[in-house]
Amino acid sequence: MRTETDSFGPMEVADDALYGAQTARALANFQLSDERLPDRFIQACLAIKAAASRANSELGVLEADVSNAIVAACHSAEQLDFKQQFPVDVYQTGSGTSTNMNVNEVLATLASRNSGVKVNPNDHVNASQSSNDTIPAAIQISAVLALESQLLPALTALNNCIEERGVAFADVIKTGRTHLMDAMPISVQQEFSAWCETLSTNQRRLQQCLTRLKALPQGGTAIGTGINAPDGFADRFCFHLNHQLQSDFCPHNNPFYGISMQDATLELSSILRAIAVALIKISNDLRWMNSGPLAGLAEIALPALQPGSSIMPGKVNPVIPEAVIMASYQVMGFDSAIALCAQSGNFQLNVTLPLIARNLLQGIELLSQACQHLDHKALRKLSIQQVNIERPLQLNPVLVTALNPIVGYQKAAEIAKAAYQEGRPILDVAGEMTDLSEQELIKLLDPKRLAHPES
């Protein structure tokens, strides 16, 4: 152990730790869980420190050698064991000050060791910043990077896969279902198109939200007034951040709002919840369509990935949709917590920022993986059980709906009831109970035409 000092006095710190006294205090104070903030969040903090250091050098706040040492330390820190050097619990001070100081202390140590220049965590690494604008900015930056590198590509790939499989099954006509009961015919492509549309809609929502996430409160420092940040800091900060990340972040036009409110992250969370709901819907449809193999619908066969029972030999379960459903439920739980967090913006600061950061990034990660699993381990290898689809389709009494304009609803209902009770094709019963010819009935009751009435 070694002794480090902060404004509270001396503190014992492990010899192999790059952090200092404030981080050590946080480790002693906060032992609620073994959960850390995600690596991507720490990476966003490092990007902030590098961009801030460059801006501070340009604006005369830092000497060039100090700024260069901090920037080099940010690059070195990327190679560290994050779990060891950034170990502060998610459940900490609500501003995230402990994590901000953890990053500041690690960078100060690295910068001092590697350059020979004395670098202070508060006076130099944290110059023109506070936890109150750095942590909200890091939440938004890390969320943007996660969306652009993980979730948006995963949604696109899943959407493309569903669309391709739909085209391959365009000629497969099956019984539609409402209330889990037989309804009018639908093609598998039409059924899949609804899944594509919900994914596309949510992709557009994410793209629109990105614009708001990229407006950063950095430069507002403690409460939005910009105290201790030089004029032009926010603009120069974003310039350097964009150069580092190849992005288009900008200063928020109202840093008071950016620091005290969490509207943009709440909006993002609600979109993640909507995506989770869509994945649950798709997964449950797949489970129902795959049910059987003898006593269920058995319209499709999902890939057999593992034994489904410890007691029933030969049983195979739809494990990927089930896993996706559980992941999606967790994302919905994250959203509920984020909604509670977002309302905790007391006066000029939200005091639940670390939990928002953790939940957003874990939610994005879970949904990205869920999309990839549905894509690669379920939909790509899904097969159609044609015999099981055709048999009930021909007997479906709801086909009589096509005769409503000709024989009337009441007569059509009588035909449907008779066909169902007798277990006979609607075509045969309608031929006996109406004056329509067999050719007319074949045309009117053709499931393909009913699925595509415009053709």
Write down how long the chain is: 455
Q: Which residues have a Cβ under 8 Å from the Cβ of 303 and sit 6 or more positions away?
A: 320, 377, 378, 381, 382
Residue written as tokens 């415009």? 454
What are phi and psi for residue 86, nearest 5 degrees?
-125, 70
- Amino acid, single-letter form, for residue 91: Y
CB 47 within 8 A of CB 141: yes
The catalytically annotated residue of 149, 309, 336, 383 is 309
Rounded Cα–Cα distance for residues 425 and 418 (Å): 10
CB 244 within 8 A of CB 50: yes
CB 374 within 8 A of CB 283: yes
Q: Which residues have a Cβ under 8 Å from the Cβ of 30 and sit 6 or more positions away?
A: 88, 89, 91, 92, 93, 98
149 given a catalytic annotation? no
CB 327 within 8 A of CB 277: no
- Dig out the tokens for 361 from the structure: 């990034």
309 given a catalytic annotation? yes
The alpha carbon dihedral of 175, 181, 183, 187 has a sign of negative
- Dig out the tokens for 58 from the structure: 């340009």
DSSP state of 61: S
Active site residues: 179, 309
